[in-house]
Amino acid sequence: MGAAIAAAPTDLPEPYEFLDLEHAGSITLNITSYEIGTALIHPVDPKPRQVRLYMMLIGSDVPPAPGTPITNRVAVMRVFGQRIDKPSPLHYWDISSKRLQADLLPRLQTRAGGVLSVTITATGYKPTKLFSVEQGG
């Protein structure tokens, strides 16, 4: 028997609600479910890595002219639930940080369909910002 091949993630439906916390900012969520997918982003001030990803996306060996708008596809974990530290009209948040996704995924997989309560705190500034996760009871 061969190994199962995982389906490629698909673009999550818009609108996107990217989780973007300032240094030392935090958010407390009761997460009820999640979805893995991708999103198309449009960097305002593309860095060399983003330009390289764009070139791969369009299959080009030539960088775009300076100032050309570019698009990148990024991996996203969409978490559904409720913000519990303050009122919020949102019912989902899109997480593009690979480290934060890696921290949350095993917690979400082992919660056995229950609610996962977490406080997510940002430390630092882009592009080296990190997130810590404190799991509630």
- List per-residue pLDDT tens for the chain, 137 residues long: 444 445 567 999 999 999 999 999 999 999 999 999 999 999 888 889 889 989 998 999 999 998 889 999 999 999 999 999 999 999 999 999 999 999 999 999 998 779 999 999 999 998 789 999 999 86
Question: Is position 72 within any domain?
Answer: yes
- Cis amide bond preceding 15, omega within 30: yes
Query: Per the structure block, which two tokens stand in for 75?
Result: 């991996």
Query: Per the structure block, which two tokens stand in for 53?
Result: 């990803």
Predicted local confidence at residue 123, as pLDDT: 97
Please state, as a whole number, how many other Cβ atoms lie within 10 Å of the Cβ of residue 19. 19
Question: Is position 20 within any domain?
Answer: no
Predicted local confidence at residue 2, as pLDDT: 45
Predicted local confidence at residue 7, as pLDDT: 58
Predicted local confidence at residue 47, as pLDDT: 87
Question: Is position 13 within any domain?
Answer: no
Predicted local confidence at residue 51, as pLDDT: 93
Judging by DSSP bridges, how do beta strands 92-95 and 72-83 pair with one another? Answer: antiparallel
Question: Is position 1 within any domain?
Answer: no
Domains of the chain: total: 1
Question: Is position 14 within any domain?
Answer: no
Predicted local confidence at residue 137, as pLDDT: 63
Question: Is position 130 within any domain?
Answer: yes
Q: Which domain holds residue 115?
A: 26-135
Predicted local confidence at residue 6, as pLDDT: 54
Question: Is position 7 within any domain?
Answer: no
Question: Is position 107 within any domain?
Answer: yes
